[in-house]
Amino acid sequence: MKMFIPALRLSVVLMLLCGLAYPLLTTGVAQWLFPAQANGSLIEREGKIVGSSLLAQEVKSPGLFQPRASSANYDPTASAGSNRAVASPEYIAEMKVKLAALRQENPSVMLQIPADLVTGSGSGLDPDLSPEAAEAQIPRISQATGLSEQQLTQLVKLHTQGRQLGIFGEPRVNVTELNLALMDLEK
């Protein structure tokens, strides 16, 4: 009993510090310094939340840019990659089907298809495409919307983000934000 009471006190103090005080402090600091990011980088239009700039959303309209494929079916609670080896027969068969579908949807797509148009990301929820993957979809979108290819190319360029800090990652286009800008153009 002599050792039990101090151990119990220490446990209660540590639970209050680590389980209550620290999370409240870090959440408060995050809300104060980075409120948009702390709340999920939500995108709001006309008072409604329409998505997050951190998560891809399923797009079925031929008049919008398609995001990367998702093994998680674009469900943020089920983030997952396919975990297939690139040399496996299943993966090769899946890529052939995706390439055929891509060429059917985008007949003018180039011979060198950007890999991110047919492959998924590790999380299955990556909202970004390479600028080349976005540009490969321009003829289909132009035909579906009536917007010129020049307008769409300019829109992609406006939404292309460079490397982080000038050295990390690759240039990318956030598909959710690009599609929202495209919908604004069509109004």
Residues 27 and 86 in one domain: no
| Token pair listed for 179 | 């599609």
Residues 26 and 102 in one domain: no
Confidence of residue 150 (pLDDT cuts 50, 70, 90): very high
CA 143 to CA 135: how far, in whole Å? 14
Domain range spanning residue 139? 53-186
154, part of any domain: yes
43-81 pLDDT tens trace: 888 889 888 888 888 888 889 998 988 877 777 777 777
Which range, of 105-109, 123-127, 181-185, averages the lowest pLDDT?
A: 105-109
Residues 59 and 22 in one domain: no
Residues 73 and 163 in one domain: yes
The mean pLDDT value for 84-93 works out to: 82
168, part of any domain: yes
Of the candidates 70, 131, 133, 77, the residue with the CA atom closest to the CA atom of residue 106: 133
Query: With 80 as the cut, is the pLDDT of residue 186 above it?
Result: no
Number of independent structural domains in the chain: 2
Query: With 70 as the cut, is the pLDDT of residue 151 above it?
Result: yes
Residues 94 and 178 in one domain: yes
Unique residue bearing structure tokens 């919008």: 64
CA 50 to CA 176: how far, in whole Å? 9
Residues 30 and 88 in one domain: no
Pair 33, 149: CB distance under 8 Å: no
44, part of any domain: no
CA 91 to CA 86: how far, in whole Å? 6
90-124 pLDDT tens trace: 888 888 888 888 887 877 766 678 888 888 777 77
Residues 35 and 64 in one domain: no
Q: Structure pTM?
A: 0.75
Mean pLDDT value across the chain: 87
